[in-house]
Structure 1
Amino acid sequence: MNLTVYLAGQIHDPWRDELIEKAHSKDLPLTFVSPMTNHSRSDAIGEEISGEQPTKIMKDDKASEFNNLRTEVLMAKSDVVIAYFGESYKQWNTAMDASTALAKNKPLILIRDESLHHALKELSNKATATVENFDQAIKALSYVFETE
């Protein structure tokens, strides 16, 4: 059995690489998908597809359409969603993706440092599991494959 894992969260640093590397080191049968992690491409995709937009707001709105399309398709095909809340960036997209996962009845693993407990308490209590780091998230996924 192979699971597809959607990695929700900010795209400004390579946190996904670290998590994927940890999964590969355990030889887990996982396929990872995510939002577009090339920030420039994510911001420009609306104009690449639909042409130049007259304002920055319309450019953002058009890019959002196609980024939302990508998220909807990839999340729908995923078996599990991992939402990572880091300390470095505002996490609005992460919260939106986590909420979408819950609305779609997707198993959700929330990764957040203990310092974010209070800010994320309601979302954490809706998640399937909440952990504090990548190692714990990988252990949770590994447990799915255990037979005894």
Structure 2
Amino acid sequence: MTDPLADPPFIDPQVARRFAEFPVELRAGLLELRAMIFAVAARLPEIGRIEETLKWGQPAYLTPETKAGSTLRLGMPKTGGFAIYAHCQSRIIPTFRDRFPQDFTYEGNRAVLFEPGAALPEDKLSFLIAHALRYHLRQSRAS
């Protein structure tokens, strides 16, 4: 049976397999974050095509043609729950934390953490996703 939250459909069978391996109590939240990434990317024509692949065994989202974005990854932190990860040496998570300091739980400069069943505020998380997907565009403008 196909998971109704797996929208858009998976292109890479390894990524689909990885999502199927996530614990069921975390899968819905991770699929919701995945859908947000694709929805935000669709509103940003300047970033080009989004690619979904695995990096370090985690679903990862890149902008391979334009190199406009910094990779986002989805996974499970050792502390439990699920997370969206950004490159720890970027300003992606710190910028998001500066804007929403009390709204989320953070793991340093690398992740926003969520508990199973947590509501995922699309408006706020869309800011994070768009910032990551346009990160190198912003950096080149700042130079």
Could you say which TM-score interval applies, normalised by the shorter chain? 0.3 to 0.5
Taking structure 1 as the reference length, what is the TM-score of the superposition? 0.32
Which structure dedicates a bigger proportion of its chain to helix?
Answer: 1
**TM-score with structure 2 length normalisation?**
0.33
Higher relative contact order (CA 8 A, sep 6+): 1
Q: Greater Rg, structure 1 or structure 2?
A: 1
